[in-house]
Structure 1
Amino acid sequence: MRATIALALTLAASVPPAAAFAADAPRSESLLAIAPAAIVDERPVAATIEGTKTVPARVRSGGTVVNVLVREGDAVTAGQVMAVLKDAKLLAQKSGADARVDEAKARLAQARQDVVRNRPLVPQGVTSQAQLEAMETAATAAAEALRAAEAERGVLAQRVAETQVLAPAAGRVVRIAMSLGTELMPGEALGLVATGPTLVRLRLPQGGAIALKAGDTVRVDDITPAGAVKATVSLVYPRVEDGAVVADATAPDLAGAFIGQRVRAWVPEGRRQAILVPADYLINRFGLDYARLRGADGHVSDVPVQRGTTHTPGAAGQPALVEVLSGLRAGDVVVKP
C-alpha cells in the first residue's frame, strides 16, 4: 500500500531564549508541531503505453515487396511511402499502354498532316471536298483514339502507383509484418502505425472498489529513469474487457516511451488521516526509531516511534515525509536532531 500526500505539513524554525529550556536542550532548535494530514491511499494496477489509435497500413494493389523504407519505431507522416511492391504483369500492361499511346499520337499527327496538305488542293481540283472531309473525320477519330489510349494508360499508371504502401496517418511505426520478397494481396496490412499522442492505458479490476474518473491523477512507474511520472485520467471506457475496466491517462513525459511497454500505475483508492514527519526528524539507534519530543516544560526526551511508509515529496527541495504509526499524536512538538 502506498500513499501520496494531500495536505502539506508546516515546519517552524524558532530560536527561543535559553532560559525557556532545560539544561539538556539545544539553544537553537527546529520545531515541528504534529498535526494529522490527509493522505490518499493508492493501489497498483497493470498498465501499458499505447497510441491513441493503432491503424494498419494496407496494400492497395498487390505485388511482391521489393523495398521497405521504414523500420519499427520510425516516425512517419500521412501519405509517406513505407514500402514499394512490384507486379510484373501490371508493369507489362503499363508498357503496352505506353506503346498504344505512342501509336495513337503518330496516327493523329499523320491525319492532321494530311488535312493540312490537301486543304489547298481542293480549289485546284486535285482533291475533292469529300476527300478532304474524310481526312478531317479521320483526324478527329485519331484524336479520340489518342484520348482513349491516354485514359487507359492513366488507369494503369494509377495502379502502378498504388503498389506503394503509404502511411495512413502521422505517427510511429510499431510493427512491420512483412519482409522483402513477400507476396501481398490487395487489402493486406504491411504494418501498424500508432497515431495520436502516446498515453497510459490502465486496466482496473472489475470488482475493485476504485472510483476512478476523468481528471483524477495517477502515478506511473518504470517510464523514465528519473522515477515516477504523474498522469491525468482523460477517459474511462464504459465497458469491461476480460473482467477489467479500461481507462486512459495522459502525461507529458511519454514521447520517448515504447509502444506496448508494460508499466505499473498507482491509482487512488481512498483518503485517511495520518501523522507525517520529515525523515530527518527521526533517529535510528540499534534498529529502533526515535523522535525527540519536547514537553510542555521545555524538556526534550527521545521517544520510540514506529515508522511506516516513506512518501515522496510533492515538490523539488522538500524533504521526504515518513508516516508515523505510533509514538506521536496530534499536538506533540518534536525537535529536529
Structure 2
Amino acid sequence: MARRFHFLGLAAVAALALSGCGRSEPTASVAARAPTAGRLTVQTQMIADLKPAPGTLTTRDMAEARARIGGVLVSLTIREGDMVRRGQMIAQVRDDRLNLETGAYAAQVKAAAAEAERARADLARTQDLYEHGVYARARLEQAQAQAKTADAALAAARAQRGASAELAGQGAVAAPAAGRVLSADVPVGSVVMPGQTIARITAGPVVVRVELPEANAAALKLGAPVTLSGEAFAAATQGTISQIYPAVSGGQVIADVTAANLPQDKVGQRVQVRVRIGERKAIIIPRRYISTRFGVDYVRLVAADGTVSEAPVQTAEGPTADTAEILSGVRAGDVLTPAAVAR
C-alpha cells in the first residue's frame, strides 16, 4: 500500500514538471509602422464661413384675388395648382339686393323720362302761345325751367341705375396676375365680405426667401453664392443672392436667392440654405484619411517613431464632396496616414 502511494506521488511530480516545460512565454505586441508614402501633415486653412439658415420656396410677389362686393359666391372655376392668366374671370359673387336696387332705379328712370317728356310738351305749347301773344315771357321762362329740371332728373335717375348695375357687375372676380393658383379654399355657396380673399396666385419668378439674424446683415452681398439643399433638390444647388430687403422684421433680415431650375410646383416648401458670412480657419483633410466604424470616425496618427495609432475625430462636411472638416480630435502639425493602409 505504501509503495502504491509512493508511485502516485512520483507520477504527480512528473506531470507537474512536464506541464511546466510545455508552457510558452508571452510575446510582446509590436506596433505597426506607417509607410512614408501617403502621409499628410495636418494644417489649418481659410475657408468660407457658411451659416445655415431656413429658406422657403416662394415667388417674388404674391397676388390675391379679392371680392369687391359682399354677397354669395355662386361660382368658382379654378382649383389649387391651376395656371391662370391676368384678367381671367375665376369667380362670381352675387348680391340679390343689388339686382333689386337696379330694378328700382330702372323704374325711376322710366318715371323721370315720362316727366321730362311732359315738360318738353308743355314747353312747346307755352312757346307757341307766347309767340302768339297769349302768355307772358315769365310763363315761358317757367316752362323752360321745368323742362330743364325734368331733363336733369332723368339724367340723375339714369346715373343711379348705371351705378347700381356697375356695382352688381363687380361681383365678377378676375385674376390680378398671371401665375399658379396656390389656394382657392372658399366653397361655392359661402357668404363673402367685400375685400375677402377668394384665391391666392403666384406672381413673378420663383425664388428662395431666406431669413438671417440682423447681426449678419452686413455680410450679405448682392450676387454672393448660396448653397441650397433639401427635398426639393436632387443634389446641392448653387444660387446667388438677388435681392436684400432693407427692412428688419423681428430681428431678421430677409433676402431672396435665385437659382436655375427651381421647382415651380412646390411653393411654400422649406429649403436648407447655407449663406457665406465671412471666412474662418479650419482643418480640411481628404476623406480617404477617415474611416468609420459603428458610426464613429477615426483617423490614423503617425508618431515620431513611425508607429500608428487610431484617434476618434468629429467631422463635418468639407468644401468639396471628397473632403471633410475636422472639428476635434487632431490639431495642426499632426501626421496622418490613409485609412486604407493596413496595420
Q: Report TM bin, short chain.
A: 0.5 to 0.7
Report the Cα distance in structure 1 between the residues aligned to 2:232 and 2:150, rounded to whole angstroms.
Answer: 70
From 257, 261, 280, the counterpart of 1:249: 257
Identify the residue that residue 201 of structure 1 maps to in structure 2. Answer: 209
Is this contact kept in 2: 1:39–1:273, CA < 8 A?
Answer: no
Q: How far 1:198 moved relative to its partner?
A: 2.5
Identify the residue that residue 68 of structure 1 maps to in structure 2. Answer: 76
Identify the residue that residue 323 of structure 2 maps to in structure 1. Answer: 323
Specify the code of the residue in structure 1 equivalent to 2:151: A
Report the Cα distance in structure 2 between the residues aligned to 1:180 and 1:83, rounded to whole angstroms.
Answer: 9
Aligned residues: 259
Identify the residue that residue 95 of structure 1 maps to in structure 2. Answer: 103
Specify the code of the residue in structure 2 equivalent to 1:64: V
Unaligned runs of 5+ in 2: 1-43, 290-314, 326-335, 339-343
Distance 1:197-1:43 versus aligned 2 partners, 3 A rule: same
Q: How far 1:132 moved relative to its partner?
A: 5.3
TM-score (norm 1): 0.59
Relative to its length, the structure with more strand (as a share) is 1
Specify the code of the residue in structure 1 equivalent to 2:244: L
Report the Cα distance in structure 2 between the residues aligned to 1:223 and 1:257, rounded to whole angstroms.
Answer: 13
Q: How far 1:260 moved relative to its partner?
A: 0.6
Q: After TM superposition, list the pairs within 5 Å mapping 1:1-337 onto structure 2.
A: 40=48, 42=50, 44-54=52-62, 56-76=64-84, 80-116=88-124, 119-120=127-128, 123=131, 128=135, 133-168=141-176, 171-204=179-212, 211-222=219-230, 227-233=235-241, 234-235=243-244, 239=248, 241=250, 246-254=254-262, 256-268=264-276, 270=279, 272=282, 274=284, 322-323=322-323, 326-327=336-337
State the identity as a percent: 33
RMSD: 4.4
Specify the code of the residue in structure 1 equivalent to 2:188: L
Is this contact kept in 2: 1:311–1:323, CA < 8 A?
Answer: yes
Is this contact kept in 1: 2:76–2:188, CA < 8 A?
Answer: yes
Report the Cα distance in structure 1 between the residues aligned to 2:337 and 2:51, rounded to whole angstroms.
Answer: 26
Q: SS where residue 227 of structure 1 aligns?
A: coil
Measured against aligned partners, the alpha-carbon deviations of 1:157-185 in whole angstroms (never above 9, x if no partner) come to 23213323344555543222411111112
Is this contact kept in 2: 1:43–1:267, CA < 8 A?
Answer: yes
Is this contact kept in 2: 1:49–1:257, CA < 8 A?
Answer: no
TM-score (norm 2): 0.58
Larger radius of gyration: 2
Report the Cα distance in structure 2 between the residues aligned to 1:201 and 1:192, rounded to whole angstroms.
Answer: 18
Unaligned runs of 5+ in 1: 1-35, 283-306, 313-320, 329-337
Q: SS where residue 117 of structure 2 aligns?
A: helix
Q: How far 1:73 moved relative to its partner?
A: 3.4
Distance 1:140-1:324 versus aligned 2 partners, 3 A rule: closer
Is this contact kept in 2: 1:237–1:247, CA < 8 A?
Answer: no
Q: How far 1:86 moved relative to its partner?
A: 0.7
